[in-house]
Structure 1
Amino acid sequence: MKNKFLKTVLPVMLLITAVFIIGSGCYGEPTGDWYEDADGDGYGNISSYIGQSDQPQGYVRDHSDCDDTNANIYPNAIEIPDNDIDENCNGLFGITFYKDSDNDGFGDPNSGSFHEINFGDEAPDGMVYNSADCDDTNDMINPLADEIVGNNIDDNCDGDVDIFEYYTDADGDGYGSGSALPPPAVGVHNNLDCDDTNPEVHPYAIEVENGIDDDCDGITDEII
């Protein structure tokens, strides 16, 4: 039995051991996938790949960071509303929307709620982008309403009660421009339009990526 072991079993065992030793020498150490984490937030940049067995300094396994220059931007980060930044790398932007209970197109400033959307999406049902309504229970009171003298109400939400002036609305979008017109001229009761030649451009319009300040806030192509 001993001779049989020495002649058969032992050589086989030695052969298997040799195969493992030689095999590991042929193929080398297993490699790992590493990605640079330049901002130190624990998430790497997919374009900075290194393959090696040991973890390089400043590199991590994860490669899902959408902005590796900012430690506050990474998957699962807290989304901050209304800043035109996708903090959590999900391709959406956090926006504060406002309830429009009277369906006049203007929102209640005290009803804001946070939603994540794609750039240029419509507001959620029953909500709007703006918070310009001074009475969201009455659809006759909003920035586009006519000021009615003698009712002791700020109908057009401009801060003045029973005081109105007429302004030219050349593009017919409900928003005027220029100086007040002398009586008996007629027009609209606001001069909020920044481009009175384009009916798609006015305060509270939805900002879209088109190189135009659609909502007259002085900023072009912002998220809101």
Structure 2
Amino acid sequence: MKLHTLALLTLSALTLAACKDDAPVNESEDSTPAGGDSSVTVTDADADGVTPADGDCDDANPAVYPGRTEDCNGVDDNCNSIIDEGFGDADNDKTADCVDAEDCDGIDNDGDGVADEGFGDADGDGIADCVGTEICDGVDNNGDGRVDEGYDADGDGFTQCNEDCNDADASAYPGASEVAGDGSDNDCDGSIDEEGLAESSIWFTEIMVNPAKVTDPKGEWIELHNPGTEPVYLNGLTLTSSSGESHIITSASPLEIAAG
């Protein structure tokens, strides 16, 4: 009876020993220290001391990392999602002057104190053609290849600043043929219908000479009469005395002597 019990105990001990020695070993077991993550690789590609995990917004540029002083260079140097903050922006286009390109818009886009530098200024007035306003001065102020456009109301090729004496009448311009009897200074020489004015067309009926000898506040004057059948215009006519003195009759409006 005792021998049988001893045999069973010996057999059990051998079985347990065999099981312990034959247990498989897991050689792929993670040896990462407690709390670590062997699947995450920490890198700092640009060696600036800050990783993307720590907020480096450009790990290919060692000059870019959180906390860096912002430069005016068109780059978010300090990784705060704002580019060139704190630098001037004269045209308010959200691009700092130091990196902004000059446009032809009448604004100093690049903040150098000069607007529209590098753009054409045909009339040399300091205002670029692209923003220049055309004025009637015989110059192409806005650089569009045309001179004084908008100032030739009657379309006769002459502008009001280019000796067109009547920009509402296409038949009146410098060098035009004078049309007798139309009451217009067609050739813009200051005289109206002078081509049809014959000798004795006007009579002097009264003259005030040297009013110093006669009390007359109007000074020297003449009275004229038109004996013809058509009106006579005095504009541009010259009165000449026998002593050689002369006077040109001028007026912004026609000076008409009616017929009869």
TM-score by length of structure 2 reads 0.29
Structure richer in strand, relative to its length: 1
TM-score by length of structure 1 reads 0.32
Structure with max Cα Rg: 2
Compare relative contact order (CA 8 Å, sep 6+) and give the higher one, 1 or 2.
1
